[in-house]
Amino acid sequence: MPEIGDELIYRLREYAKSEHVRVVEIDARKKTPRYVIEFLDGDKAGTQENVPAGRLRGPWAEVDAYDVLMANWERIDQVQLTDVEESAVGQVFDLLVPDEIAEWEWSPVRYATRIRDKVGLRELIGITADDLLAQAEGFELDSDLVVSPEATLMIAEYACRLKPMPVLDWVLEEEKEYREKSKHGRPAVSHDRRSYTTSPEWEYQMYLEYGRPLHELLRSWCGQRAATLQERLGAAEAENRRLDEIITRLFDELKRFGHAQAVDHLTRTYEEEKITPASFRPVVDRPLKPSEIPVRYERAPRRWGY
């Protein structure tokens, strides 16, 4: 906490010029104290202002290091993500990026990323931190690497390309939830704590504005090949379940008409010959030894006339 007489760094805004001030009075009339400061240099020298604590940035003796730090933050604060991009980054980091490797920051630059483990990051996204810095801004801070929001987008996209399935599975589950809400609405609580059910029309509008753009962006990051593969696998599994249900109903009908023995035989055959992931892969057996080859006897045809 600043004390009376402390000479401090004052900044009106985040990236404003640092000014030299001295605390001359502490205003404790409110719950959060304010400080009366006196400017010591420049055109405002000798003037006083009552300011919040957030504008006082540290001892004036450390102003050079502080100015360098803030210049670095300002340098990476050139790209502002859209709401959809922010949602996509948050979801990808939750699914694929452990905090001990990298974590996006909220302040002072929203969605800048602090990289704590460069080796782990390379395994996660397929490129080095130096490759990342060649495409976007960043700087070293307390043995970590801080990169811009633009680099944060790259990290999320590269991670999706290397490991797309968890992200695509999440998108699929989200779409299922949106489908249900767009049919029936959902239970909700108003700001005055009244329970109500949202309308399907409102839920569908939310999907169009927020859900679908997010899903499309994540699918594009994962790549068309991975998205198509997921759709084909999902369709094959759904079709297999549908055929199982049809066959079960067919067997039940056959039993009802007195064909129980045939149904038992068909059921065993169906289960034994069912193609599963375990049975689909070809099994390569070693060649049989001569002693293991079964002997088969063939009767020679009679030779007439000899």
Task: Output the furthest CA–CA distance in the chain (Å, rounded).
Answer: 137
Is pLDDT at 291 greater than 90 in this prediction? Answer: no
SS3 sequence of 112-133: CEEECCHHHHHHHHCCCHHHHH
What's the pLDDT score for residue 305? 60
Domain ranges of the chain: 7-74, 78-163, 164-183+198-255
Nearest-angstrom CA–CA distance, 185 and 199? 5
**Domain 7-74: CATH architecture, name and number where available:** Roll (2.30)
| Percentage of the chain modeled with pLDDT above 70 | 96
Task: Write the pLDDT tens digit of every residue in 172-203.
Answer: 999 999 999 998 899 988 888 889 899 999 99
Task: Report the Cα 151 to chain-centroid distance in Å.
Answer: 15
Nearest-angstrom CA–CA distance, 293 and 287? 10
What's the pLDDT score for residue 266? 83
pLDDT top residue among 8 and 301: 8
Q: Confidence band (pLDDT; 50, 70, 90) for 281?
A: low
Query: Which string of DSSP letters, residue by residue, matches 76-121?
Result: HTT----HHHHHHHHHHHHHH--TTTEEE--SSSTT-EEES-HHHH
Please report where in the chains the tokens 């009244």 appear, as a residue.
194
Task: Write the pLDDT tens digit of every residue in 106-155.
Answer: 989 999 999 999 999 999 999 999 999 999 999 999 999 999 999 999 99
Q: How many beta carbons lie within 10 A of that of residue 18, not counting itself?
A: 17
What's the pLDDT score for residue 133? 93
Task: Write the pLDDT tens digit of every residue in 231-273.
Answer: 777 777 777 778 888 888 888 888 888 888 888 888 888 787 7
pTM listed for this prediction: 0.74
Please, what is the average pLDDT of the chain? Answer: 89
